């Protein structure tokens, strides 16, 4: 089956702009989580969406938001970009129901550079 | 507080030597523990999880609730094991949220 697909792979934005990243999960998966990966902070959880509802949220400012569509595809948006938002943004999908099959599958990420 | 700690940023061993990547966690309930691996230019992927109690690519990890540890071990390291390894925790209940450690780079020298 096709893996998790993230688009675009690379982005360069200017401070103050906004950006939207997209994630297509594995077919049948209903949970999509987003993570920010930086050399200094490692992998940090942003939020999780399940069946179009935000189910969990990390400790990021309100400039970071997301949504999930009825086909489980998800987008995350960052408004008023800051230099510190430069990072690799990873999306992970999982079935999302019960505790039997809990493996999360990751996309290759979107590399965001803010200049 | 929920936390995963990997004390070593870099672990360098020679081929054939034993490997132990340390992971300690802090969680008040019954978490699920995972090891994820990221090879060069590849996506993050699951290596193993504690509920499976399986050996993958020669790696094993045992959950020690008393010491709140989930160390990853392999008796004989191979050059192809060189990668970044992340220990991760998922809390109880219906959640996809993973809490990751800072990661350990394993370098296996020939």
Look at residue B81 and give its three-state secondary structure. helix
Contact B39, B86 (CB under 8 A): no
pLDDT at B95: 78
Give the separation between CA A85 and CA B56, rounded to whole angstroms: 35
A57-70 pLDDT, tens digit each: 999 999 999 999 99
B21-65 pLDDT, tens digit each: 999 999 887 888 999 999 999 999 999 988 777 888 999 998 898
A12-56 pLDDT, tens digit each: 999 999 999 999 999 989 999 999 999 988 999 999 999 999 998
Q: Is the pLDDT of residue A2 over 80?
A: no
Q: How far is B41 from chain A (nearest CA, A)?
A: 9
Identify the contact set of chain B against chain A, taking CB-CB distances under 8 A.
Answer: 32, 43-46, 49, 86, 90, 94-103
Q: How far is A67 from chain B (nearest CA, A)?
A: 15
Q: How confident is the model at residue A95 (pLDDT cuts 50, 70, 90)?
A: confident
């Amino acid at each position: 089956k096709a893996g998790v697909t993230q688009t675009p792979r690379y982005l360069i934005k200017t401070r103050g702009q906004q950006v939207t990243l997209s994630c297509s999960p594995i077919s049948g998966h209903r949970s999509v989580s987003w993570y920010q990966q930086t050399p200094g902070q490692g992998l940090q959880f942003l939020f999780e969406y399940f069946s179009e509802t935000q189910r969990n949220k990390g400790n990021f400012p309100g400039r970071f938001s997301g949504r999930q569509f009825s086909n489980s595809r998800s987008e995350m948006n960052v408004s008023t970009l800051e230099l510190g938002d430069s990072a690799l943004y990873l999306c992970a999908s999982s079935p999302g129901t019960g505790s039997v099959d809990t493996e999360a599958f990751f996309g290759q990420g979107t590399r965001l550079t803010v200049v | 507080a929920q936390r995963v700690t990997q004390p070593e940023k870099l672990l360098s061993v020679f081929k054939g030597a034993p490997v132990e990547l340390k992971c300690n966690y802090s969680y008040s309930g019954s978490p699920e523990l995972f090891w994820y691996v990221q090879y060069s230019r590849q996506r993050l992927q699951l290596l193993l999880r504690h509920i499976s109690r399986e050996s993958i690519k020669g790696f094993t990890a045992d959950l020690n609730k008393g010491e709140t540890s989930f160390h990853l071990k392999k008796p004989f390291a191979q050059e192809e094991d060189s990668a970044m390894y992340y220990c991760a925790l998922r809390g109880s209940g219906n959640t996809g949220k993973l809490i990751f450690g800072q990661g350990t780079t394993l370098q296996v020298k020939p």
